[in-house]
A and B are shown apart, each in its own frame.
Chain A
Amino acid sequence: MTTTTSSPVRAAAAAPPAPGRRRRLSDRGLAVAFISPALLLLLTMSVFPLLWSLWLSFTDYSATRDTPASFVGFANYADVLTSSQVHQRALTTLLYVVGAVALQTVLGFTIAYLISRRTRGRGLLTTLFLVPMMLSPVVVGLFWRFMLDTQFGVVNSLLGSVGLGQVEWLTRQRTALLSLIVVDTWQWTPFIMLIALAGLTAVPRYLYEAASIDRASEWFRFRSITLPLVWPLLLIAVMFRAIEAFRLFDLVYILTNGGPGVSTETLSFHVYKVAFLGFDTGLASAYGILMVLVVIALAQLYLRYLEKLKEG
C-alpha cells in the first residue's frame, strides 16, 4: 500500500478502532522507551568506540604524539595482513585455541559422563568441579604462576618426589605455551563439563531402556544414543570457548606476559603491545578491527547452531 488516500476502503478496513489504536501506539512508545536507554549505552560504549577505531585504522595516529592523524588508506591493514610477526602470533593463537579447547572438551565431557553415570554425590561433585571457572583470571594466573615456579613451585616439587627432573615451565619457549594451555584448560574444563552434563541429563531414559531390551552394548548405546543427543549442545560449548579463547588477554598478561621471547604472544596480546607499548594506535586499530571481524564470524556460527538447537 503506497498511500492511504488512494484506497479509502482498505484504509478504513485496516484502521483499528480509536481506543485500540491508542493502545497500540502506547505499546510502541513503551517498547522504544524501554529499549532505547540500553541501546544508547551500547552505542556510546561499544559502537561509537568501534567506529572511532575503524576511522583510526585508516590513519597513522599515535596516542602519544600531538600531531593530528593523517589518512593512510588501507596501509595499516596491508601491514597487519602481510606482517610475518602477525602470522606467527596467529599461529600461536591457533595452537593455543585448538589445543586448549580440544583438551578441555575431552576432559570436560569425560568428567560429565562419569558424573552422569553416578547415582550418588552428583550435586556435590558438580559444585566442586565448578570452582575453577568462577575464579578471576588474575587469581587463576597468579595461582599457577606460583605453582609452576621453577625453584619452589609445588608442581616441580611433586615431579621431583616421583623422580622426574625440574621443568622450567614458564621460562622455556615450548613449555610456556603448554603451560598456558594447561592453565586455561584447568579453568575452563568445568564450563564444558557443565554444558555436557546438562545435555547428558536431558537424554530421555526410555531410549536407554529400549536399547537395553535390545541388549545393545554399552559402546553402542554411547555412540548411537548419548553422543548424537549431546553433540549439538557440546558444539555450542566448544564454539563459545573458541570465541573466548581467541580473545584471551588477561591470563597471558598475568601468567607469562607473552614470553619467553614471543612464545606465548597471542593476537590479543600483540594488539596490546602495538597499542600500549608501541603507541602505534592506527595500526593497532586496524589489527583490532580484523580481530573483531573474526569474532563476529564465529559468533554468527554460534548463533546459527543455537537457532538449530532451539528448533530441534
Chain B
Amino acid sequence: MALTVDQAVPGPDDRPATAAAPPVPGRTGRSGRGRRLLETALLVVLAVVMLFPVLWMLETSIKENRDVYAVPAQFIGFDVTLDHYRDVFVARGGEGRSDLSTAFVNSVVVAGLSTLLATLLGVPAAWAYSRFGLRAKKDQLFFILSTRFMPPVVVVIPIFLMYRELGLIDTELGLILIYAAFNVPFTIWMMKGFVDEVPAEYEDAAMLDGYTRLQAFWKVTLPLLVPGIAATAVFALIFSWNEFVFAIFLTSSQEVRTAPPAIAGLIGGTTVDWGLVAASAVVFAAPVLLFAWLVRKHLVAGVTLGAVRR
C-alpha cells in the first residue's frame, strides 16, 4: 500500500495534492452544500472538545488562585498573573531553585543521554539488520520488538531488585540505562526502515572504489541517514521525557527525580495548588510539542515503532 506520511501530515506550506481535484459531477446542489456545512461544523465541535483541556490548562496556569477555584469556572475576565510560572522555577520564599526546576534539569540529562545511547547502539544495529542476511533475522527482530511491548509495571519488579543489588536505585545512570533499553527496539525498527530506503548499490559502488564495508557505511550511507536519525532520536527523546513508571519506582530523592514524578508529587497533599500544577505541566509539555512539530512528517512511522511506513 502506498502510504506517505507527508500526505497525511502536510507541513504549513504544503498544498494538499487533492486541492485542485474537480468536484464530483452529478451530486452537487443544495444537499451537497448542506452536507459540507454539517461536516465542517462537526469537525469544529470535535476540535474544540479535543483542544479544550489544553486551553484550560494554559488558562489555569495564568490565573490568580481565587480564579482557579472559582465556582462556576471563570472562562474570561480574570486577572492574568505569571506567579505560577515563577513558582515552577524559583523556590517558595524567593531564594534559590525550586525542586521542580531541579527535576526539569534531571529530565533533560536523563532523556538526552538515554537518547544518545539508544541512537549509538540502535543505528548500527539497524544498518546491519537491513544490509545482511542473518540467521533467524525475523525472529531476532520480533524478539527486539517484543521487549518494547512488555508492561513496564511488570518489568520494573525485577529491574528494581537488580538495581538494588547493583546500587543503581535512585541514580540517573539507572534511569538512563533502562530508557536506552526501552528505546533501542524503537530505534532499530524505525531506522531499519530508513536504511532500507537507501539503495545498497551505493555501498557496493563505494566498495568497488576501494572502500571497506565499514568505510562505505560511514562515508556513504550514514550521511544519507542523518534526517532519519534526527527524527528517530526526537521520538526516543519524547518517550524518555514523558516516561513515568520507571521514573517513579527507580528514583526517590529530589536530587535525582525527573519531572514526571516531581509533577505528580504536587498532588500528594490535602490541598492541591492547581495553578502550579498547570504551569509546570505547560512548561513540561512545551518542548514535546515543539519536538513533535519537528518530526510531524514521520509521525506515522514514529508512533507505530517504524513498523508502518510505506
Q: Which A residues fall within an 8 A CB radius of B?
A: 23, 26-28, 30-31, 34-35, 37-39, 41-42, 44-50, 52-53, 56, 63, 107, 110-111, 114-115, 117-120, 122-139, 141-147, 151-154, 157-158, 160-161, 186, 189-191, 194-195, 197-199, 201-202, 204-205, 208, 212, 215, 218, 229, 232-233, 236-237, 240, 243, 246-247, 249-250, 253-254, 268-269, 271-272, 275-276, 281, 284-285, 287-289, 291-292, 295-296, 298-300, 303, 306, 309, 312
1/0 contact string of B1-12 vs chain A (CB within 8 Å): 111110111111
In the complex, the answer to whether B292 meets A295 with C-beta atoms within 8 Å is no
Instruction: Please name the residue on chain B nearest to A306 by beta carbon.
Output: B307
Which of B157, B245, B292 has the most chain A CB atoms inside 10 A of its CB?
B157
| Interface size counted on chain B using CB atoms at 8 A | 110
If A34-B125, A38-B121, A136-B242 touch, whether A142 touches B161 (CB-CB below 8 Å) is no
If A47-B147, A247-B151 touch, whether A123 touches B18 (CB-CB below 8 Å) is no
Report A289 CB to chain B, min CB distance, Å.
Answer: 8
A254 partner residues in chain B, CB cutoff 8 A? 244, 264, 267
Q: Which B residues fall within an 8 A CB radius of A?
A: 1-5, 7-12, 14, 16, 18-19, 21, 24-27, 39-40, 42-43, 46-47, 50-51, 53-54, 56-57, 60, 68-73, 121-122, 124-125, 127-129, 131-132, 134, 140, 142, 144-147, 149-155, 157-162, 177-178, 180-181, 184-185, 188, 212-214, 238, 241-245, 248-249, 260-261, 263-264, 266-267, 272, 274, 277-278, 281, 284-285, 288-289, 292-293, 296, 299-300, 303-304, 307-308
How many residue pairs between the two chains, A and B, have CB atoms under 8 Å in the bound complex?
320
A247 partner residues in chain B, CB cutoff 8 A? 149-154
In the complex, the answer to whether B151 meets A138 with C-beta atoms within 8 Å is no
- Which secondary structure dominates chain A's binding surface? helix
The 8 sampled A-B contact pairs (Cβ below 8 Å) are: A41-B180, A53-B154, A53-B158, A63-B160, A119-B19, A123-B12, A146-B274, A281-B161
